[in-house]
Amino acid sequence: MGKREKEETKRVRMKQSPGTTNIFKKDGMRLLLLALPFVMIVIAFFYVPLFGWLYAFIDYKPGIPLSQSPFVGLKYFHILAEDWSTLARVLRNTLVMSFLGILCAPLPAVFAILLTEIPSARIRKLVQTTTTIPNFVSWIIVYSLAFNISTGGVFNQVAMKLGILSEPSNILANEDAVWYFQTALGIWKSLGWNAIIYFAAIAGIDGELFDAASVDGAGRFQKILHITIPGISSTFIVLLLLSASNILSVGLDQYLVFHNSMVADKIEVIDYYVYRLGLITNDYSYATTVGILKTIVSVTLLFSINGLSKKIRGFGIV
């Protein structure tokens, strides 16, 4: 009877497999068609602009057609090598900002874990909404708030009453504190938003694990340590690797708004440097050269970290 049942099972599978394959093909085609518009958007906004790399090899001047601009070869790459001191300062600021951000990467995960431990659903929603709203606040408004607080505002009044400061201090012009202050602003603005993915990861953990741990007498901290943290560890590692691969991409808006002559030496990152070269000094060719260098370094870091991830974890992120 066992052999007959196996033969009948094989026959049923053989009969069902063609239809199942056709269903998979239809579903795959539908998914491909659904993804096609987004693929076209990615190509249009991320790959078509690579044509602009041509500006790094010509002496482009605004108003002169590209076809009439003289070809200069690697001229601007040689200028980049000669002007290494300025680029090194910009890279230093970029790397410091990025490393401080990476050091603070566990904060959204910790925040998500602590928030999910709050028993009241109303309080959880209130805190989550309150901490997510700053992500949608413009950096211009953030600068206005920071300006009012730091220059003779609430911060100075409270600090002077507590004896922390003897005289008013303008943190926006403090060159020694600019790295830490900008990192703190970035954390405040993005903490709730970055925690959303960890909320989803925690929600995806099997609830039976927590029930079994309760039966075994595990406390709240033990559940976090042995169930929640291992459950979101893969999500954290992937996000950390992506952050490390984008170490030269710290953004422009924040540093453009907070830039001033008092902290210019510490706050000028590579994105702002490219913006200043291209749109303020109108040196489009040299700005494109710096942008190419940034892209090459970022792509190299991405594939290096991906290879390291494959060796350590057995699979990569690309």
Whole-number pLDDT of residue 97: 92
Whole-number pLDDT of residue 110: 93
Q: Is 58 helix (H, G, I), strand (E, B) or coil?
A: strand
CA–CA separation, 259 vs 102, rounded Å?
Answer: 22
Q: Is 246 helix (H, G, I), strand (E, B) or coil?
A: coil
Three-state SS for 145-161 is HHHHHHCCCHHHHHHHH
Inform me whether the pLDDT recorded for 26 exceeds 80.
Answer: no
Please tell me the number of Cα atoms within 13 Å of 180 on its side-chain side: 5
Q: Do 70 and 59 meet the contact criterion of CB atoms below 8 Å apart? A: yes
Exposure string of 217-248, with b = 16+ CB inside 10 Å and e = fewer, is: ebeeeebbeebbeebbeebbeebebeebbebb
More confident residue, 11 or 68: 68
CA–CA separation, 109 vs 192, rounded Å?
Answer: 10
CA–CA separation, 112 vs 170, rounded Å?
Answer: 33
Whole-number pLDDT of residue 28: 74
Inform me whether the pLDDT recorded for 19 exceeds 60.
Answer: no
pTM for this prediction: 0.78
**Residue 58: strand pairing partners:** 71
Q: Do 302 and 212 meet the contact criterion of CB atoms below 8 Å apart? A: no
CA–CA separation, 80 vs 289, rounded Å?
Answer: 8
**Residue 71: strand pairing partners:** 58
pLDDT per residue as tens digits for the range 35-91: 889 989 989 988 888 888 888 899 888 878 878 888 888 888 888 888 888 888 999
Structure tokens at 301: 């870091």
Whole-number pLDDT of residue 61: 84
Instruction: Return the number of other C-beta atoms located less than 10 Å from residue 96's C-beta.
Output: 17
Residue 22 — pLDDT band, cuts 50, 70, 90?
low
Query: How far is C-alpha 109 from the geometric centre of its chain's CA atoms?
Result: 15
Q: Do 127 and 195 meet the contact criterion of CB atoms below 8 Å apart? A: no
Query: How far is C-alpha 13 from the geometric centre of its chain's CA atoms?
Result: 47
Residue 294 — pLDDT band, cuts 50, 70, 90?
confident
More confident residue, 162 or 16: 162
pLDDT per residue as tens digits for the range 191-246: 999 999 999 999 888 888 888 888 888 888 888 888 899 889 888 888 888 787 78
Strands (DSSP E) contained in the chain are none
